[in-house]
Amino acid sequence: MRSTSVDSKRLDLAGTRDFTKPGAGTARRQRVTAYGRSLLGDLWDAAVPDAGREQTGVALAAVGSLARGDSGPLSDYDLVLVHDGRTLNTADVTALADRIWYPIWDTGVRLDHSVRTLGECRAVASGDLAAAVGLLDMEWIAGDPILVAGVRQSIAHDWRANARKRLPELGESLQQRHERHGSLADTIEPDLKEGSGGLRDMAVLRALTAAWLTDRPHGQVDVAYDELLDVRDALHVATGRGRDRLGREDQDAVAALLGKPDSDALLTGVVESARVISFALEGTLRRASQSQRARTLRVGPRRPVLAPLGYGLYQHDGEVVLGPRFNPTGSQLLLLRAARVAARRGLPLAPTTVVNLTSDLQPLPTPWPGEIRDAFVDLLATGPGLVQVWEALDQAGVIGQWIPEWRAVRSRPQRNAVHRHTVDRHIIETVVQACRLRGDVARADLLLIAALLHDIGKIAGVLDHAVEGAPVAANITRRLGFAADDVDVIELLVREHLTLVDSATRRDPQDPQTVQTLVGAVEERPDILELLTALTEADAIAAGPKAWTSWRAGLVADLSARATKALADRRMPRVEPTTSADQLSAAALHDVAVGAAHVEVVATPSGARIEIADRDRLGLFADSAGLLSAYGLVVRSARVRTVDGVALNTWDVESPQGELPATADLVRGIQQLAAGDRSPLRALDRKRRESAVDAGLTTRATVVPGASGDATVIEVRSQDRPGLLRDIGMTFARFTLAVRSAHVATYGGQSLDTFYVTAAGGQPVSPPQVAQVIAALIDACDGAAPSAG
């Protein structure tokens, strides 16, 4: 037998014309597998001519792809010669093995072989996790079928019996293998077998099911596995070698064989399949761990432990789930809130919860309602936890529903040495980095949206993705419901998102013309320069360490500082919230006249709008903010105005617990606080202790010079948290400063607040006192100073 005859036969059986036909892959692998088993059967007959295939006490078995029936054209053979240790002596078993192995080697087929008894198989499986997973697939080829069945059953029994011990080992082994071979989703030359999301991960999925701890996903993951097998088969045929790494030099040939338009389309398909398998494996491992914990901890029947998270959501066994008897009714707002809650806590959404939240999902109108847009931005502002939650929503098809343009960049490879991720994963990493930098800008929401859309133009056939992506980003932002001015800013940021780094690294940052070019690119607006600087850093860090070296960072910072200095006298105008007497209702005027606070609570799609009118006094703003927070309400925006000694505060709030406070309770609470009774704030004190402030977001408090002729205007940027606005208000009260008017807004988890404050007699605050107030505000926002009672 010539050394190439077997491989040539297997390649002939694989064929080259049926790779693009639906369902041809399964038939192809069945042909190759049947040929391999027939060949081995013939070798067995030649090695054991007298007893034939029914020899008792000894058998030839296959593991790996030959056992599973998915052999590639040039896959190696993983064989085990099993014997009972009694029928044949050691010398006879060795001689039989030689009569089988040597002819296989002579054919040139790669062979992984072993000779073992039942006890030795069990011992190897006990000590070698990879061997255990492989032996679970053992299939009879020739000889004693009962012996092989006994070995397979014993291995499966041991696997199930030791599942508690083996599960952590399996997780650690997976992590080590993935670190060695990388991820198919992040590699230009992926290892189809060993990489994360590869063929071997599917074997682990089957092994988890064999442990009887959980079932694995079916349907989509099986399709993804078949697609990876098709790529492997094409790689074997195109190269004439049984390799598993899809090298750059082979990608065009493999793409042509599979009928793909180019190698990028090929890699996109590989990445999408790998992501499905990785996502399925991650969820199955989690299910198995939960099942094992339940078996270990349960003593008799017990109810599930549910920790409330608000909005009808709970934390259960390391996941976010819907509460019992809760009907989501296809709510987009609830889906976004659930995703936000999960991402903020670094928890996954339970698969059943994802299904319940996304089934019968109501389509969004154009433009999106404000509460939906705000919830979407809040999701983007969740930091590193966004990655796994976004992937869950993407796998469920939700992201493509929200942003149809996302499908064109999904799983798309980047053949650039500085990039470590596909286009869509790089985008999400940029959003995560932008979240970290949102304290550097006034409009965190615009920064996060720009980060999400900055590479939306990186699609097939596009030469300048920034220029061509800008109008696409504008259309998306318009659909999301942003104002026209905000849409223009996003379009500019996407179009110019490479301008700062290119100018800093390719031109002289100290040249005035370089500075003027940058100033012109941001339309001479300091706020856009802030956004562009943060976006540039987020984009570069997300790309990888090669894109954001200390040298690049220094050049970008220097050029940005020079442009900021050039724009020092260009300030965006501040419009002070005002009101007039005729805007106060007759009921409000009556209540205030008789010395009582007036409160109106009006339900809105996102929560409620609460109006509080009362005789203006020192600390009223702080008391109102603290009282709302004590009731568990989350302030989205607020306006504070005074007219003729009457303060009118309008609060737009969310109610995570689903209940709004009664008007009478709010009136009573304000009156108690005005009398010095702090009992209405006891719940707030508890919430403050339980909440954790994001240490990565730096508080900034600054005076806005020239913004008002008769008041001092102070802008505060800080991480939003329970009691924040009360702490700010009490700081002003400690310095006997009156809040004449204010505009409060929350963008992406950051509170951006502008206060018009006056000293005694309605005069602006003196410069020495301003310095003290600024320091005190920063301490109060960071939780360093106790709130005054």
The pLDDT tens digits of the residues spanning 157-173 come to 988 888 878 888 888 88
Mean pLDDT of 467-494: 97
**Predicted local distance difference test score (pLDDT) of residue 777:** 95
> Which carries the bigger pLDDT value, residue 185 or residue 472?
472
What's the whole-number mean pLDDT along residues 185-196?
Answer: 91
Residue 577 is given by DSSP the state P
Distance between CA atoms of 327 and 271, rounded to whole angstroms? 35
pLDDT given for residue 424 in this prediction? 94
Model pLDDT, residue 787: 43
At residue 581 the predicted structure's pLDDT band, cuts being 50, 70 and 90, is low
First to last CA, the chain: 94
Sign of the dihedral through C-alpha 730, 735, 739, 743: negative
- Mean pLDDT over 342-368 rounds to 92
Strand pairing report for 77-83 and 111-116: parallel
Note the pLDDT of residue 692.
Answer: 52
Distance in angstroms (rounded) separating the CA atoms of residues 485 and 493: 13
Is the per-residue pLDDT at 195 higher than 70? yes
DSSP readout, 592-618? HHTT--EEEEEEETTEEEEEEEEE--T
Most confident of the following: 175-189, 527-541, 606-620, 678-692: 527-541
Q: How confident is the model at residue 571 (pLDDT cuts 50, 70, 90)?
A: low
141, 142, 147, 148 alpha-carbon torsion, rounded to 10° = 0
pLDDT at 17: 64
Query: What confidence tens digit (pLDDT) does each residue in 407-419 have?
Result: 999 999 988 777 8
| Statement: residue 60 has pLDDT above 80 | yes
How high does pLDDT run on average in the chain? 88
How far apart are the C-alpha atoms of 109 and 75, rounded to whole Å? Answer: 8
DSSP assigned state of 582? G
Q: Contacts by 343-346 with C-beta closer than 8 Å and gap 24+?
A: 343/379, 343/382, 343/383, 343/385, 343/386, 343/388, 343/389, 343/390, 344/382, 344/383, 344/385, 345/309, 345/315, 345/320, 345/385, 346/384, 346/385
Q: Is the dihedral of CA 24, 30, 33, 38 positive or negative?
A: negative
* Cβ neighbour number for residue 222 with a 10 Å cutoff: 16
**pLDDT at 786 (0 to 100):** 43
Give me the domains of the chain, ranges plus CATH numbers: 5-160 (3.30.460.10), 165-297 (1.20.120.330), 324-336+346-566 (1.10.3090), 583-781 (no CATH)
Assigned token pair, 253: 């040939």
In this prediction, residues 181-189 reach a mean pLDDT of 89
pLDDT at 98: 92
Confidence (pLDDT) at 595: 84
Which two three-digit tokens encode residue 232?
Answer: 């492997």
> Which range is least confidently modeled, 15-19, 147-151, 324-328?
15-19
Of the candidates 137, 139, 147, 131, which has an alpha carbon nearest to the alpha carbon of residue 58? 147
Which residues are CB-contacts of 168 (< 8 A; sequence separation ≥ 6)?
none
Strand order of the β-sheet with 58-63 is 111-116, 77-83, 58-63, 139-143
Query: Which H/E stretch holds residue 409?
Result: helix 406-409
Q: What is the pLDDT of residue 574?
A: 62
Rounded to two decimals, what is the model's pTM? 0.88
Check: CB of residue 371 under 8 Å from CB of residue 235.
no
pLDDT of residue 339: 96
For residue 35, give every residue at least 6 positions away whose Cβ sits within 8 Å of its Cβ, in sequence order, or none.
9, 10, 13
CA distances from 372 to 444, 525, 660, 722 (A): 17, 29, 20, 22
Does residue 2 surpass a pLDDT of 60? Answer: no
Q: How many angstroms separate the CA atoms of 365 and 584, rounded?
A: 34
Question: What confidence category does residue 573 fall into, taking pLDDT thresholds of 50, 70 and 90?
Answer: low
User: Which whole number is the average pLDDT over 118-139?
Assistant: 89
Residue 761: what pLDDT?
A: 82
Quick: pLDDT tens for 756-770. 999 988 889 999 999
pLDDT digits (tens, 9 = 90+) for 647-671: 889 999 999 988 899 999 999 999 9
Omega into 764 within 30° of 0, i.e. cis? no
Strand order across the beta sheet in which 738-747 lies: 598-604, 607-615, 646-654, 634-643, 738-747, 750-758, 712-719, 700-703
Query: Percent of the chain scored above 90 by pLDDT?
Result: 58
Q: What is the CA radius of gyration of the chain?
A: 33
What pLDDT score does 690 carry?
65
Q: Which has the minimum average pLDDT: 9-18, 450-459, 748-757? A: 9-18
Residue 243 in tokens: 């390799």
Residue 62: helix, strand or coil by DSSP? strand
Cβ pair 665, 768 in contact under 8 A? no
Question: Is residue 362 predicted with pLDDT exceeding 60?
Answer: yes
Q: What mean pLDDT do residues 464-473 have?
A: 96
Q: How far apart are CA 323 and CA 390, in angstroms?
A: 22
Check whether 457 has a pLDDT greater than 90: yes
Query: Higher confidence at residue 360 or residue 625?
Result: 625
Residue 431 pLDDT exceeds 50: yes
> Over the range 621-648, which residues count as b (16 or more CB within 10 Å of their CB) and which as e?
bbbbbbbbbbbbbbbbbbbbbbbeebbb
Measured between alpha carbons, how far is 659 from 414 in angstroms, rounded to an integer?
48
